[in-house]
Each structure stands twice: as structure tokens, then as C-alpha cells.
Structure 1
Amino acid sequence: MASAAQLPLFYNGLEPLSSDTHANYKVRTQDSAPFVVGQHAIPITVDEFPLVQRHMPIVFSVGDDAIPLALMGLNEGVNVFVGDDGKLTENTFYVPAYIRRYPYMLARLHPDAQELSLCFDPTSEAVGEFEDGDALFANGQPTEVTQNILAFNESFEQAGARTQNFMKELRELDLLMDGEVSIQPDGAEQPFIYRGFQMINEEKLIDARGDTLRKMSKSGMLPLLYAHLFSLSLMRDLFGRQLQLGKAPQPPLG
């Protein structure tokens, strides 16, 4: 099992799914996602930008290995779309694929392995030797359920590769800048300032000319960049939701 220090968000362990070891394992449908409670930033792929931008702000993490993130809250430990019971607070919300992928993921069993293996988090309550649920294997072969899980994870990996290429292009074009959002609620003496993320430098984007602009247009990058920029208007909506839920941050010092 992989060590916890190397595991991505949500995962407490990783175990390769095996028709021998897990011959009698089943998967059962979960109506809640307790692992998402209090998680305010979720990794997303560029394939999801058009859907995510309708519901959540899209930002980029800091550092050289920046990735796109969907914000489900503006403050650490706050998720305005998932209740304390792990259930969505609204029915039409788009759930990022990163959340829907759990407890599975494709991973290399060894650093030098060429192929990715379908693994799962053994601490998840969705997979186990249950009396109820859908079988993962039948007669030593993966069932349709397992094949669908594998197909979804393969699709997610492909989207992840496209996202890495997108981020590489962003860095080459030097379009990322440190982000800052100022929100001044009614009655507040000082605005709330949010930093610690990256965003697209809109001035540089507007100034793009010639080959650079053609390259962004041809690669399909432009609509993704504007999806991100349009989504930033939802920052204030998130803040308002936090106020309604009584999860507003402490007022800034005057």
C-alpha cells in the first residue's frame, strides 16, 4: 500500500484491485461524500471548465506545478456546497470528476512501472466484502461495473494529460499572475482580501497578438481562459453563501 505522505487529496491508502484478492468484493452506491466535507478547493481538468464556471470560481494553485482548482469555499475548512452530512446542498450542482473518481484511481505500482493499474482506497466504505452491492468480479473476470470504473479513470487520466499540456502552455506564454480578490460586505469597515492563488493576467491576454493569439485560438485555449475569467465573478457569491451559513471569516483588522 502506498504511504500516506505520497497520496493525493482524499486518499488514505491505495491498493491495486485484484481478481484474486478481491474476488468477493462489491461496490455499493453512496448517497454522501463525507471526505469532501470542509474541502474548499478541488482539482479539476480543462475539460470541465465550461461546466465548472457556471457554479464555482476557477483559479490556479501557486507554485511552479500549478493546477486548476474549483473553489467550493473561500476559506480553509469551508465548503458551501456540501453539508456536514456529506450531501450536496443543491440538486443541479456540477460535481467535479476528481470527487466522482474516488475511491479509485490509476497509479503505477512501482516507480519504474510502464502501465497504470486500477487501485482503490481500502479505507473507503464504498468497496468491500458486502452482502449488498454490485460485484466487481465474476468467474475471475471484471464485471461491467469494474469495466465502467476503469473506463472513467482512463478518461480522467487523459483529461489530466490535456490539463498538464494546458498548464505548460500557460507558463510558456507567461499568462499566470498572483491573484487577489477584495470583497467589501455591507457594513464592514475593511474589505476581506483573498490571496494565495493564481489567475490569468487579463491585460496580457488582451495584448496578445499575431502568432501567440493564433496559437491560443487554434489550440482551443481562448475559451478556457475566458471561462476561468468569467468564473471569478462567483467569488462574491461564495462569500455570500459563507455569510448565510455563518461561516464567514473573522473581520479584517482595521
Structure 2
Amino acid sequence: MKNPLFYKKVVPLDHVRHRDLRMARKANVFPFARGANFVPAVVDEFGAAMAHLPIAFLPGAGQPAAVFVLGLEPGSNLFLEADDSWAGRYVPAYLRRYPFIVGDVKGREPLLCVDEADDGLGRKDGERLFSDAGESGPLVKQARDLCANYKRAADRTDEFCATLQKLGLFSSVTLNAQTPDRGNMVVHGLFTIDEAAVDRLGADDVKLLHEKRFLKPIFQHIASLGALAKLADRNAARQKASAA
């Protein structure tokens, strides 16, 4: 299977194999996301992120997938500073959980896994993942909780997107952002929720969305598109700084 975004060598986290492994990268620093103008989003974080990050949907093999828009063109992440620290008010959970991830094994409980290719991991500097006795350290315990919560939220987000697609609520769009230096910049190949289609929903469909608790994330997504202006402002500030 293709590795998820940013992950290169995912293996089960093991207290023997990884006994001496340490995390040297500081919190809130994400060098691996330097060239990402999209990162996955889950419905549980729409509310906290909507004022700061535009939420859209990327086409997928089966259904669209929710993403945060981080840049106005491929290879551009406007939320990373020169030292790779995060400059925004909200950090996507997908970034916060890296290099850990939950792996599904048929017939077994999900396993906490780690990307051994992560440059932030090593055996000399940083906080150890395990004690000398092989017990999980604070980093592993925190990662286990975060990854488990993220997996549940991701499953719910898949159901959310499948439901929206079934109800015909997605619309292909071009996002426009006005920038003073380059005029009108556009982001192609995305879907948003069609407000007019939402307005046309029948009572039974609205009841379904209410019962699934999907009405709130629909409107949180729509509200998040207002953050495109902040994205354009961030792009303009970066361009101005580069020219200085």
C-alpha cells in the first residue's frame, strides 16, 4: 500500500527494537511539511481551525477527502517559518501526530507505528521513547492517545465525506485569493460544499445529517473559506519579506 503523506518507512513501534530511540525535534517544528500546500483534516478539528485555515476537499478514488489549504500553489506552505516552526494559530492534528500513526492488522488490535525514516528520530539526542526497562515514556503515551483519537476522527470524516457525496453536496470549485503583488491567485482541483445544494435538501436528508451530527461540520467548512483572505495576506507578507 502507498504510504500516507510524509510517511516513508512505517513499522510497528517496538519496545525492544526501539528501546534507545529518541525524539530530537522540538515541538511545533515540522520540516517534513515544508512543501505541502494541503494536509488532511478531520471533522473533529473543523471548529478549532475554521477561523485560521481554509477547509476544502480533494478528489479521491472513492470519495473526496477533507484537507486544510496551507498554500496558494504547489510546494508552498505559508505556515512554516524559515526554521520550520509553525506560524499559525492552529496546528493540524495530522502534523502533531507525526512520526506516529495507527496501523491496522487483520484479526488484531490496531498497532501504534512509527516512521523510522523521520529525521527527528535518533539514538543520541532528545527524549527517549522507552525506559531502560522497556516501558513507554511520556512521548509514546501521548502519541498513543493522539493517534487513537485521530483514527476515530478520520473514520468519522470518511463517513462524513461519503454521506455528502451520496447527497450530492460537493461542487468542484476554483478558490480565488486576491494578492497585491500577483493579483488574483487561484487554487484548482478542489471541492467545496455547495450551499445551494444544502438549501435544497429535503426534510429526511436534513434529519439524517442531524442524526449523524454532520450539520455543524458542514457550516464550519463553509465558514472556514473566509480564511482564504488571511492566506492571501500571509502570502503577500512572505513575498514582501523575500523582496526586502
- For the aligned pair, the TM-score class normalised by the smaller chain equals 0.7 to 0.9
The whole-number CA distance in structure 2 between the counterparts of 1:135 and 1:230 is: 39
The whole-number CA distance in structure 2 between the counterparts of 1:41 and 1:121 is: 20
Aligned to 1:230: 223
1:9-60 per-position Cα deviation (integer Å, ceiling 9, x unaligned): 1112112211221222233451421111121111011001001101010000
Aligned to 1:252: none
Q: Does 1:219 align with 2:212?
A: yes
CA contact (8 A) 1:51 1:94 kept: yes
- One-letter code aligned to 1:166: F
The whole-number CA distance in structure 2 between the counterparts of 1:243 and 1:141 is: 48
Q: Which one has a larger percent strand, Structure 1 or Structure 2?
A: 2
The whole-number CA distance in structure 1 between the counterparts of 2:214 and 2:11 is: 36
Map 1:98-117 → 2, pairs under 5 A = 98-108=94-104, 112=106, 114-117=108-111
CA contact (8 A) 2:72 2:185 kept: no
CA RMSD across the alignment: 2.3
Aligned to 2:237: 244
Change in Cα spacing, 1:230 to 1:16, as seen in structure 2 (3 Å) is: same
Task: Name the count of aligned residue pairs.
Answer: 238
**Residue from 7, 19, 22 that aligns with 1:23:** 19
3-state SS, counterpart of residue 73 of structure 1: coil
Change in Cα spacing, 1:177 to 1:131, as seen in structure 2 (3 Å) is: closer
The whole-number CA distance in structure 2 between the counterparts of 1:58 and 1:97 is: 14
% same residue: 25
3-state SS, counterpart of residue 115 of structure 1: coil
3-state SS, counterpart of residue 239 of structure 2: coil
5+ long unaligned stretches in structure 2: none
Q: Does 1:123 align with 2:117?
A: yes
Aligned to 2:51: 54
How far 1:131 moved relative to its partner? 5.3
Aligned to 1:250: none
3-state SS, counterpart of residue 106 of structure 1: strand
1:172-213 per-position Cα deviation (integer Å, ceiling 9, x unaligned): 11111101233455697x744432100001101012231111
Aligned to 2:134: 140
1:115-171 per-position Cα deviation (integer Å, ceiling 9, x unaligned): 322111112233332254234244233334422321221111111111111111111
Q: Does 1:162 align with 2:156?
A: yes
Change in Cα spacing, 1:185 to 1:115, as seen in structure 2 (3 Å) is: same
TM-score (norm 2): 0.87
Change in Cα spacing, 1:36 to 1:193, as seen in structure 2 (3 Å) is: closer
The whole-number CA distance in structure 1 between the counterparts of 2:82 and 2:177 is: 26
The whole-number CA distance in structure 1 between the counterparts of 2:179 and 2:118 is: 40
Which stretch shifts more, 123-132 or 172-181? 123-132
- One-letter code aligned to 2:20: N
Change in Cα spacing, 1:240 to 1:145, as seen in structure 2 (3 Å) is: closer
Q: Does 1:207 align with 2:200?
A: yes
- One-letter code aligned to 1:60: F
How far 1:94 moved relative to its partner? 0.7
CA contact (8 A) 1:29 1:133 kept: no
CA contact (8 A) 1:55 1:94 kept: yes
CA contact (8 A) 2:72 2:186 kept: no
Change in Cα spacing, 1:183 to 1:117, as seen in structure 2 (3 Å) is: closer
3-state SS, counterpart of residue 117 of structure 2: coil
Which stretch shifts more, 6-15 or 138-147? 138-147
Aligned to 1:97: 93
The whole-number CA distance in structure 2 between the counterparts of 1:125 and 1:182 is: 35
5+ long unaligned stretches in structure 1: 248-254
